[in-house]
Amino acid sequence: MAVSDVMIKSTGSYVPEKILTNKDLEKIVETSDEWIRTMTGISTRRIAAESEATSDLAYRSGELALKNGGIGPEELDLIIVATITPDMFFPSTACIVQDRLKAKNAVAMDVNAACSGYIFSLVVGSTFLKTETYKNALIIGAEKLTAITDWQDRNTCVLFGDGAGAALLVPSDGSGKLLAFDLGSDGGYGDMLYIPGGGSRNPATQQTVEDRLHYIKMNGHPLFKIAVNKMRETFKRSLKKAGLKPEDISVLITHQANMRIIDSLRSYLKVPEEKVFVNIEKYGNTSAASIAIAFHEACESGFIKRGDIVGLAAFGGGLTWGSAIIEY
């Protein structure tokens, strides 16, 4: 018989030590602390050291999640790393993390769904557990976005930071479960948020480097509107599947991309501010790591407690979007 419910047993996160402030950015590009805070809600972001790769951040967060969950790496069955900044094309970042953890019995794979990657990984991992293919899964959202940030582009360089967050999924003991989820994609909008250089279509050459094609390109204004609408729609569908109403949500955690997007979803759902966990001011947009880091910090601080109904929603490049309702 298949497992009926899957729960998050434990979490972990890691952010680099170096802090880049808005004042620091004023010295790099034409911008201001006031403009960044007003338009995005970001005050600081973390910057990985040159010697730190995405796998290093992922490893640190995953190690903590396993420690908090009380299981050894050799007991681990599945590792999923959500990232758009892999250490290299292959092997996968998940395989590198598997080796670092010494999780020799675990299957390892990457998921590329940009900022929605953590929710995609949560669903993929839960599905494997529900079919009893595996008995546990470590899901990690990890990014070194500063490695693909164009520090000459003032519209994007103020947004991004580095970090990682993880969660250990196990069959539910009755104290928690994944109640519902909704995922979506639309490749027709792919050129609104992408990196044009480096892949098989535009392999790395001196010209692609000179043209700065290996950095994030974003069409911000239309993307903002699409993000707001898609996050509203996906969250409504998850609520309907769970048989819940917005007022049933104990805690709302959205992708930490822009404070105005977070406020828009909160206002649309009529969720009180005190139920919304926000840490964008400290870390900026960390893509797939965003919700993962926030979830861990919310648990550690007591913002989320066992039995709470937690709503997650994200939107990212691809375009992708997703939401999940969890009884924690």
Active-site residue numbers? Answer: 115, 255, 285
Tokens of 193: 């948020």
- 266-275 — which CB contacts under 8 Å span 24+ positions? 268/232, 269/232, 269/235, 270/246, 271/246, 275/249, 275/250, 275/251
For 61: left if phi > 0, alpha if psi spans -120 to 50, otherwise beta; the answer is alpha
Of 33, 289, 318, 295, the closest CA to residue 146 belongs to 289
d(CA 259, CA 121): 24
Q: Which residues of 151-162 are buried (b: 16+ CB within 10 A; e: fewer)?
A: eebeebbbbbbb
d(CA 63, CA 69): 10
d(CA 179, CA 241): 8
Q: Would you say 195 and 215 are in contact if contact means Cβ atoms under 8 Å apart?
A: yes
d(CA 33, CA 25): 8
